[in-house]
Structure 1
């Protein structure tokens, strides 16, 4: 089953030379989704891992997601590619983010079916770039997050200096515990391959409920 181009609108944004991309992940509630979608964000993330408190299908209607005028990324953890493709079609997802132990072959299969792939990579005390070489041709972006016990993200930062020697062709989003207090630091951050940022829990009033006003302030400070 191939995902048609007509289903995947708007397209996944490419890296922008003049400003960082911003993805807001873990959205769940319809009115809150609409409020965040009205902000100048590039991607919205919706979690399709059933064990997550931000599991989107419990609250969101597929028709609302399909109608959103912003790129929609579905987050999956060790799900079968066929299930991911069906879910993407049903909800009109622009791309998928794989946050488990998915293989390069899994990424290749989804990309071949017309679904751009963001592959999440947990970063601990070291980062093995050689392990990512097999993924790079099949991924639109990597998402570098802090390693930890939770497969879908742990809400903590990691040592960003580990990315100073990044030399793969795939751009990436920086994730992991990014909050309002990081805006100035992120604005000044210069790292090879860095395309933007992925925020989640530190902008929440509760799991899946984002503070749109705090996000607006953060965006203004981040992009100046």
Structure 2
């Protein structure tokens, strides 16, 4: 089965409609006011309500209050909450207990201690592995994906961190335990929160079409 595709950091209604037309599996909206891709300024609940059926809506939060996250889920009819801070297994369990699926993000540097994931098993639907950097996410650089060869937990995960069109062939052929989806963000932007639909369309085609030849613009 092809990798699922998530486009994160959507922040403009017109760009959202254009990217949604490409039929990603997930679209991500950042509800963290310090982010350059903060969705709370420009997007309204009507914008996410108009998305085609089949696209799952993901709300991204960083160390947010439980009540605030629950309110955003209801307001924007979110299908999944992505936690990008220091949230505990208890917080994840509390969200899932009220019917909100959770994706818990972890920053990966030159090394990664996989034992930190164990307490979250049973309390999250997905993990997400992003590159360690100055910001909680969207730093625009990849980490060494081969570190994930050591992953052997039953929770599927999203791969994030500087994924770009130039990585298309390598991503299409990745064979890593637990890999479920690719998370695309800053390397597909013309400015923070605005995605280049042409580049996304090319990557989507190359990931979703078996045997397609990768052609990267020079």
Determine if the TM-score, normalized by the shorter chain, exceeds 0.5: yes
CA distance in 2, matches of 1:189, 1:80: 36
The residue number in structure 2 matching 1:118 is 103
* 2:99 aligned with 1:98: no
The residue number in structure 2 matching 1:31 is 14
Contact 2:138 2:185 in 1 (8 A): no
SS of alignment partner, residue 41 of structure 1: coil
Shift of 1:178: 0.3
Contact 2:131 2:161 in 1 (8 A): yes
The residue number in structure 2 matching 1:10 is none
The residue number in structure 2 matching 1:58 is 41
The residue number in structure 1 matching 2:24 is 41
The residue number in structure 2 matching 1:205 is 190
Shift of 1:57: 1.4
Which stretches of structure 1, 4 residues or more, deviate above 3 A after TM superposition? none
Structure 1 spans left out of the alignment, 5+ residues? 1-17
RMSD: 0.9
The residue number in structure 2 matching 1:13 is none
Q: Structure 1, residues 147-204: CA drift from partner, whole Å, max 9, x if none?
A: 1121133211111111102110100011000001011000011000001200101101
The residue number in structure 2 matching 1:78 is 63
Shift of 1:67: 2.7
Contact 1:66 1:93 in 2 (8 A): no
CA distance in 1, matches of 2:62, 2:141: 19
The residue number in structure 2 matching 1:221 is 206
The residue number in structure 1 matching 2:170 is 185
SS of alignment partner, residue 134 of structure 1: helix
Structure 2 spans left out of the alignment, 5+ residues? 210-218
Q: Structure 1, residues 62-85: CA drift from partner, whole Å, max 9, x if none?
A: 112123121100000000111100
- Matched positions, count: 207
Contact 1:94 1:115 in 2 (8 A): yes
TM-score (norm 1): 0.90
Contact 1:77 1:152 in 2 (8 A): no
